[in-house]
Structure 1
Amino acid sequence: MQPANTEPCPPMNIPPRTTSTTRWALTSLSLATLLASLGASVATVGLPALAQGLNASFQAVQWVVLAYLLAITTLIVSVGRLGDLLGRRPLLLAGILLFTLASGMCGLAPSLGWLIAGRALQGLGAAIMMTLTLALVGETVVKEKTGSAMGLLGTLSAVGTALGPSLGGTLLGAFGWQAIFLVNVPFGLLTLILAWRSLPVRLATMKAGKIRFDGPGTLLLAAALGAYALAMTQGHGSFGGSNFALLALAALCTGLFVLVQTRAVSPLIPLGLFRDRLLVAGLTTHALVATVMMATLLVGPFYLSIALGLPAPLVGLTLAVGPVTAALTGVPAGRLADRFGALPLRRVGLAVMLLGCTTLAMLSPAFGTLGYVAAIMVTTLGYALFQTANNTAVMADIPTGSRGVISGLLNLSRNLGFFTGASVLGAVFAAALPTSGINAAAPETVANGLNITFIAASLLIFMALLIVQLNPVPEPSDECQAPPRQG
């Protein structure tokens, strides 16, 4: 562990910021977050139309969604490190431009192959945007407002997730599947202009001769993450030989990655970072919470449509309750984190999530739609409180040169949690159903599957709460600037 900096107020190479400039900079970061989350959710509603319009199978058009998610997952840490080395502002501008151009490429794609390639490039742009918006918060707002800024980004991410299906459905019906991608172009250009005009320009802190990007580490990490993501998504909850082979490949690439990092002059992920207890606890709990939230997206539609017998329009409306709750909670949660501290609020968020998951584990169809909505609102409220507080706690007082890679790790832990939840908790739900499949399941069987799934989810949240309790890292001092956390 390196000795802490003894200067009470180390100088920052950031030009003076006015309130107006800060507001516009935060607006540009919020729009970038919105576009990245919108890009993930807007395409799902268009899969049937894509299958028909491009004369492709459903399994083939699923790669329109999967290519986007895989690009984000495999590259999100690498682009964070690249931002630390080359500058976060210019790389974010390049990411927004790439996302915008790739959106146009998707909308004009003449075939499914071109569309999937465009979605992969769009996912790369989204990875840059998701990672560097979090990393740039520390250069955009004062420390006392970090929680509020994190809450705003969380709100816009939830808005993008909630808005995607409804906006996509509207555009699809009015203009065709091309519109769900082309709509990003004008908003991407607007975000690019705002970011270019308002984001702070940091002076270079590294000599050009010392900048080395870890190419072998990047390739090995991307291979490991890609293999793991494919293992978790193939088979839809049932594991076969290909899944185990992919997991073995992921384990092999991870081992080689760690070996390369110990020998690299400029490693992609300095392994010393994982001596930071707050970072490790934050990443682990973030992955566990994301695993549980995926269960609400996975099991909820079946419970609403089969156990409660709701028609499709009401199912969609009910499913929007979760993202809307998260959107409404994000900013207040950030203010609470600024006022009372991020670490205590993280415990509160997990406790509220545990209450919501326990309620779902005991929920009966007799409570109807209102009972389900109440339980989901409590669960999502806890998630929003936890996510804002956890992001604030993890990103506080870290060395300037590590903000990008740590932001990438934070986003990666969430994505891996989503993939794991889709596979593991999906398998738990499937185990409670008849062997003939979901279509033959009776309402009471689906309700029982929901209960069993959220018993497992409650155990995961309890584990996350235990991790937080066993890692009581004190809040950073508010006097000027606390010494940065060191690996």
Structure 2
Amino acid sequence: MNKKQKVLAFISLAIACFLTVLDSTIVNVSLPSMADYFNTDITGISWVSTAYLIPFSALLINFSKIADIFGRKKLFIIGLIVFGTSSILCGLSTSLSMIIIFRIMQGIGAAILAPLAIPLGIELFGKDAMSKLAIVIGMTISIAAASGPVVGGILNEAFGFKAIFYVNVPFIIVSLIFGAQCLTECYDRTIEKRIDFIGSILLAYGIGTLTFFLVKGSTYGWGSTKIVTLIITSAISIIAFLIYELRSKKSNDRI
């Protein structure tokens, strides 16, 4: 692979990384406009933000393992398609329930893309570039998180809140073209080639509920039955995951 292909491949990764983080904050300034459009209150419309964050945080590790097994480039392309399609559907939504569903879909796309930037980058530039990649990716994440409210506010004022979803599309297309042409397929050949469904479910539930009560705790009340139940079940799920994985590891070591 020549230098130009490596640069284009990294641009693809950087765009995907930037957009996944950007979309976690870009909607916040536009929530009042969305509430008026969908005829709901601020509590209801806040689910537009929460619906993205929960699958994003809950599924990151699971999709990282799937990519290691089945191919990181394949999952990256799938993630771009899911993220781009859901961005269009969010903009086309005509009801609160529709946009929440499509934001969940967008969060799933983000969970596919986010963990792939560094391993695909290492495949491009080698392990010696790991520290530099981590710095660049870290800077990209920081800039995306900080610029989300600013970009969202400008787009909302100039074109309406739907623009904050449509703006993703041209960048996703660029990332998709560069990624499909310039990225090389890679796997983690050292891991066990099976999906741990029980562990995946326990981890996804534990992290998902953790994200939910951290985001919604003040809304429902930290002492409310719903939040206390989520805190307890989240802790149980994460502890159960750790115990299950330790036992599985011991069983594999015996074999």
2:209 counterpart residue number: 227
Q: Counterparts of 1:23-422 in structure 2 under 5 Å?
A: 23-202=7-186, 205=189, 211-236=193-218, 239-242=222-225, 243-264=227-248
Instruction: Give 1:97's aligned amino acid.
Output: I
Q: Matched residues, percent identical?
A: 30
Q: Secondary structure at the match of 2:218?
A: coil
Query: How many angstroms apart in 2 are the aligned matches of 1:252 and 1:205?
Result: 32
Contact 1:26-1:149 within 8 A present in 2 as well: no
Which protein, 1 or 2, shows the higher relative CO under an 8 Å CA cutoff with sep ≥ 6? 2
In structure 2, the CA distance between the partners of 1:135 and 1:143, relative to structure 1 (3 Å rule), is closer
Residue 223 to residue 143, structure 1, CA distance change in 2 (3 Å): closer
CA RMSD of aligned residues (A): 2.3
In 1, distance between residues paired with 2:187 and 2:241? 32
Q: Is the 8 A contact 2:80 2:109 kept in 1?
A: yes
Q: Is the 8 A contact 2:31 2:45 kept in 1?
A: yes
Partners of 2:211 and 2:147 in 1: CA distance: 25
1:97-149, CA deviations, whole angstroms, 9 ceiling, x for partnerless residues?
11000000100011111101111111111111111112222211133332222
Separation in structure 2 between the aligned mates of residue 135 and residue 29 of structure 1, nearest angstrom:
10
Could you say if the C-alpha distance between residues 258 and 117 of structure 1 is closer, same or farther in structure 2, counting changes exceeding 3 Å? same
Q: CA deviation at 1:205?
A: 4.5
CA distance in 2, matches of 1:203, 1:47: 40
CA 1:85–1:249: 2 relative to 1, 3 Å: same
Deviation of the 1:25 alpha carbon: 1.5
Q: More helix per residue: 1 or 2?
A: 2
Q: Deviations over 1:47-73 (max 9, x none)?
A: 000100100110111111111111111
Query: Partner of 2:63: helix, strand, or coil?
Result: helix
How many matched pairs?
249
What secondary structure sits across from 2:184 in the alignment? coil
Higher Cα Rg: structure 1 or 2?
Answer: 1
Superposition TM-score, scaled by structure 2 size = 0.89
Partner Cα distance (1:227, 1:205) in 2: 32
Question: Which consecutive unaligned segments of at least 5 residues does structure 1 have?
Answer: 1-16, 271-487
User: CA 1:180/1:83 → structure 2, altered by over 3 Å: closer, same or farther?
Assistant: same
Paired with 1:235 and 1:216, the residues of 2 have a C-alpha distance of: 27
Change (3 A) 1:213 1:109: same
Cα distance, 1:264 vs. partner? 4.5
Q: 1:204 deviation in Å?
A: 8.8
- Please tell me whether the aligned partners of residues 207 and 234 of structure 2 are also in contact (alpha carbons under 8 angstroms): yes
Shift in alpha-carbon separation, 1:239–1:126, aligned structure 2, 3 A: same
Q: Is the CA contact 1:214–1:264 (under 8 Å) kept in the aligned structure 2?
A: no
- Say whether the 8 Å CA contact 2:70–2:187 is kept in structure 1: no
Partners of 1:226 and 1:98 in 2: CA distance: 20
SS across alignment from 2:217: coil
Q: Which residue of the partner structure matches residue 440 of structure 1?
A: none
Length-normalised TM-score, structure 1 = 0.48
Retained in 2: the 8 A contact 1:32–1:129?
yes
**Offset of residue 263 of structure 1:** 4.8
Three-state SS of the structure 2 residue aligned to 1:234 is helix
